[in-house]
Structure 1
Amino acid sequence: MTSLPFYQIDAFATRTFEGNQACVMPLDDFLPDAQLQAIAAENNVSETAYIVPKGDGVWALRWFTPTVEVPLCGHATLASAHVLFSHMDFDGPEIGFDTVKSGRLTVKRATGGRYEMDFPAPAVRKMDITDDVAAALGAWPLEAWGGPFYACVFASADDIVQLQPDIDLIAKLGIMKDVNRGNLGCLAVQGDGMDVVSRFFAPASGIPEDPATGSWHCMVAAILGPRFKRPLDCFQAYPGRGGLMNVELIGDRVKIRGKAVTVIEGKFTL
C-alpha cells in the first residue's frame, strides 16, 4: 500500500464549517489521470488539488472535481498555498503555481491573515436573457453576461438568497458558443454589508451548488471592476456555509484575497 499526504482545508473561511472544502495532496510526481480522478471522487469535495514541486518556489498544480479536471479553481489554489505556508514550511515571499490552462498563478501573504491570489481576468460580454435560463433559475434576472460561465445579475441580495433553482435544468442548458451555461452564477450588488452577494451552480462540473468559488469571482471582478474601480468585498451565499473574499480588477489580472482553515491532516492510502 502507498500512503500520500492529505489535507482538507476550508477556503475563503475564517473558521471550520465556512467557505468551501478542498483537499490538497502534495506529490513527488503526478499519478496517472485516472488515478487522480478516482482519488478526487473518493474525497468527494468540490475540488481536490494536486501539487508537484518544480523548484525555486514554484509548484505544478492541477484541480479535479469528483467528475472532471477543471481549468481553474480559486478556492483549491488558496487551500494549496495555505498548506505550503502553514504545513510545509514554505517561507518565501510568493508561491508560483504552474497550471495546464491558466498559466502561472501566484499567491502571497496579505494583511489580516489573508492570502492574495493573482489570476487572469476573463473576457466578458453582455448577453441576452433567455427563457430557458429564467426557467432554470425560477426568476428573471435584470441582465446576463457571458464569459467562462453564464452570469445573471439580480436586483438585491434577497433575490440571490431566495433563489430556488432547478439544478437539473441548469445542467441541461448546455453550451452556447464558448459559454458553459451548465455552470451558472448569479450576483447582486450590495446587501448584508457586502459589495456583492452571489451564488454559483456548477452541475456541469458535478457540483450542484459550490460554496465559495474563486474562478467565478474572477468573472464577478471582470463584470463589476470597471464600474467600481476599487476592491470589492464579496459574500458567496451558499446555504449554511458562505464564503468571504475580496476581489480587485487590475488591468487584465484579478486579485482575490481570503483566509483558509485546516480541518483535517492525515494520509490517503492507495
Structure 2
Amino acid sequence: MRLFTVDSFSDRPFHGNPAGVCLLDAPVPDEWMQAVAAEMRHSETAFVLDQDGGPRSLRWFTPAVEVELCGHATLATAHVLYSLGASGRLEFSTLSGVLTTDRGGDGLITMDFPASRAEQAAAPEGLLESLGVKPVWVGRSRFDFLVEVEDADTVRSLAPDLDRLSTVETRGVMVTAPSDHAGADFVSRFFGPGVGVPEDPVTGSAHCVLSPYWSERLGRDTLVGEQLSERGGTVRTTLRGDRVELAGHAVTIWSGHLTTPSP
C-alpha cells in the first residue's frame, strides 16, 4: 500500500502540519490503522479506501485514538489524490458526514466542512490554570474548548502545563486572539495532549469553530487564520451558513510503500 507524508496548510516543505496518508487497497482492522498511525507519529494519519459507486472512505487516527474530524489530513489526502491524477470535486465518507474538496488552478485546495459554533461555557477545573492565561472569553464546541485571550503575543508566548491540560475532559483546546499584523485576521494555537497531540502545528478542524467565532466579531465571512506553532501555517476560511470552506496548499515530503502487510 502507498504511504505518504504531506505538509498541509503550507506551500513550503517542513512548514505547516505534517500528515500521513495511507491509500488502502482493501478494508483493514481498526487496530491495524491505529498501529500504523502510532508508528507514523504524526498528529493524524489518514486512511482512504475507494468504494464502488460512492464517496471514498476516509478515517483519521492520532497516535492514540481515532478522531471524528481532521482538516489537515483531509487536505493532505486530497493533495495526494490530485497529484496521482484525480481531478474535479472529490467526495469522502467520514464520521462527520460527506466532505468534499476542490482544487484551483494555483494548487489551492478548498474543503467543505461543517461549521461548529462555540457556546459560552464555564472553564472546567484545570483548564485556565494549565494554560496560565486570563481569558477574554471561554466557550465549548462539539469537540474542543475555545479560549480567547487579550492579544497575539499572549498566544505566541503560551507554555502550557500539558500534563495538567491532559486531565481536562476534551479533545483539545484552541487559544486565539486578533492578529497583530497584516495578512491575517486572527491567530491561534491548538493543544490536544489528551488525544496524543501535545501541540498541533495547524488544525483545520479548529478553524471550523474559529471561522464562525471571528466572522461574528469582525463582521466578515472570509478571513485568514494564522496558527502560531513553531512550524506555522495559514488557513483561509469562508463561512457559508452552517458550512465553512477551509483552503490551503500542501506539499508532499516523501512517498513509499508499506512493507508490513495488513492482517
What are the residue-to-residue correspondences of 1:14-93 with 2, within 5 Å?
14-55=11-52, 58-86=55-83, 88-91=84-87, 93=88
> 1:167 corresponds to which letter in structure 2?
L
1:259 corresponds in structure 2 to: 249
TM-score, normalising length: structure 2: 0.94
Tell me the SS of whatever aligns to 1:54: coil
* CA distance in structure 1 between the aligned counterparts of 2:116 and 2:198, rounded to whole angstroms: 23
Q: 2:216 aligns with which of 211, 226, 233?
A: 226
Q: Secondary structure at the match of 1:169?
A: helix
Give 2:115's aligned residue: 121
Large movers: runs of 4+ above 4 Å: none
Task: State the distance in 1 between where 2:52 and 2:246 align.
Answer: 25
Alpha-carbon deviation of 1:98? 0.5
Q: 1:143 to 1:111 in 2, by over 3 A?
A: farther
Deviates more, 1:66-75 or 1:112-121: 112-121
Q: Are the equivalent residues in 1 in contact too, given 2:19–2:72 (CA < 8 A)?
A: yes
- Within the alignment, does 1:110 sit opposite 2:100 as a pair? no
> Could you say which residue in structure 1 is the equivalent of 2:176?
187
How far the C-alpha of 1:123 sits from its partner, in A, is 3.6
Post-superposition Cα deviations, 1:223-268, rounded to whole Å, max 9, x if no partner, equal 12233232111111112x1011101211000100000000001111
Any unmatched runs of 5+ in structure 2? none
- The TM-score, its normalising length taken from structure 1, stands at 0.91
2:140 & 2:41 partners in 1: Cα distance? 29
Aligned-residue CA RMSD in angstroms?
1.4
**Which structure has the highest strand share of the two?**
1
Q: Does 1:238 align with 2:245?
A: no
- Bigger drift between 146-155 and 54-63 goes to 54-63
How far off is 1:156 after superposition?
1.1
Contact 1:150/1:183, CA 8 A, preserved across alignment: yes
| Separation in structure 2 between the aligned mates of residue 110 and residue 245 of structure 1, nearest angstrom | 15
* Matched residue, 2:146: 151
Superimposed CA distance per residue, residues 128-150 of structure 1 (whole angstroms, 9 cap, x where no aligned partner): 24563221101111111110200
Conserved in 2, the CA contact under 8 Å of 1:11 and 1:260?
A: yes
SS in 2 for 1:158: helix
Distance 2:194 2:222 in 1: 30
Unaligned segments of structure 1, at least 5 residues: 175-179
- In structure 2, relative to structure 1, the CA distance for the partners of 1:111 and 1:253 (3 Å cut) is farther
Residues 20 and 73 of structure 2 are in contact (CA less than 8 Å); yes or no, is this contact kept in structure 1? Answer: yes
**227-236 or 203-212: bigger deviation:** 227-236
Q: Is the 8 A contact 1:157 1:192 kept in 2?
A: no
Q: Secondary structure at the match of 2:51?
A: strand
Alignment CA distance shift 1:111-1:61 (3 Å):
same
Classify 1:204/1:89 alpha carbon distance in 2 versus 1 (closer, same or farther; 3 Å).
same
